[in-house]
Amino acid sequence: MKVMRRLAVAIGLIAILTSLLVGCGPTALPVIVEFIAAPSEIYSGESVTLFWNVTEATSISIDQGIGNVSAIGMKTVSPMTTTAYTLSATNVAGTVTNSVLVTVVRVYQPSSPSPSFTTYRDEKWGYTIGYPDDWFVETVAPEMISLHPAFSHLSWGSIFVMVDESSGPASGMAQALVTELEQANPTTFTLIDNGEAQGMWDWYVCYEYMAEYEYVTIVRRGEAYIKNTEQYMYVVNLDFEKEDYDSYPLSQIVGTFTLLPE
């Protein structure tokens, strides 16, 4: 009987030691499947959304004051300056981290009601147009240029100046523009105004639509000013995020457009 008891005790000790050894065995580190910021570049005052997906973690946190989060989630933040967000995922095996950088670019704020302008002159197509000194001019096509703010990309906002050699009324060009925008944004395009203009312009079009950039939907606003001459059709089309319209001297820029003497 004593032998049996000793054997039972020994088996029990072996079982306990085995369970302890298993509990202390190696465990895989957490896996950060995804941690992204969309968009990764914004203007000051705008928001960005963080998305993440983490597995095999017992605790997850994001710095910059966000704190503990669930394994899968999203968070909208509005950094005022360029900021790196770091996600930390922890379990008994250790901690892994991943960071995303959100670049914040300044919004153009004129120092006075009449900012200093530079004049773009196009002898070939016969026009001039002014733009703020810290904007850029890019040639999009032989007959088209883009004026856009510093630190901005064409997809975020530009004033396009296009010249068309084809003949026809300004209303026809306006309808072609509207049709193109409707086809590109069939469910979100809204035509606000489309009619004859006063002053030097023959026709005016105003519209809005929603555009998606990665995981973020942005409301865009556009205005097109059209002038028809015997030789050319001129189109000055403004296409910016709706919230940016008060940040840029857009009406002043359009007001500087003039035709060169023939």
Q: Is residue 96 classed as helix, strand or coil in its secondary structure?
A: strand
* Cα 239 to the center of its chain, rounded Å: 14
Q: Is the pLDDT of residue 4 over 70?
A: no
Over the stretch 82-94, which tens digit does the pLDDT of each residue have?
899 999 999 999 9
Enumerate domains of the chain plus CATH numbers. Answer: 28-105 (2.60.40.10), 117-259 (3.40.1000.10)
Over the stretch 142-158, which tens digit does the pLDDT of each residue have?
899 999 887 654 446 88
Whole-number Å distance between alpha carbons of 221 and 240: 6
- What is the predicted pLDDT for the residue at 225? 96
Q: CA torsion, points 148, 150, 156, 158, in degrees to nearest 10?
A: 0
Q: Is the pLDDT of residue 16 over 90?
A: no
- What is the predicted pLDDT for the residue at 154? 47
Q: Is the pLDDT of residue 9 over 60?
A: no
Question: What global pTM score does this model have?
Answer: 0.59
Strands annotated E in the chain: 31-38, 41-43, 48-55, 59-62, 67-68, 72-77, 83-91, 94-105, 117-122, 127-132, 136-141, 144-148, 157-164, 190-196, 203-213, 216-228, 233-241, 258-259
- What is the predicted pLDDT for the residue at 21? 45
Whole-number Å distance between alpha carbons of 225 and 205: 7
Sign of the four-CA dihedral 233, 186, 154, 203:
positive
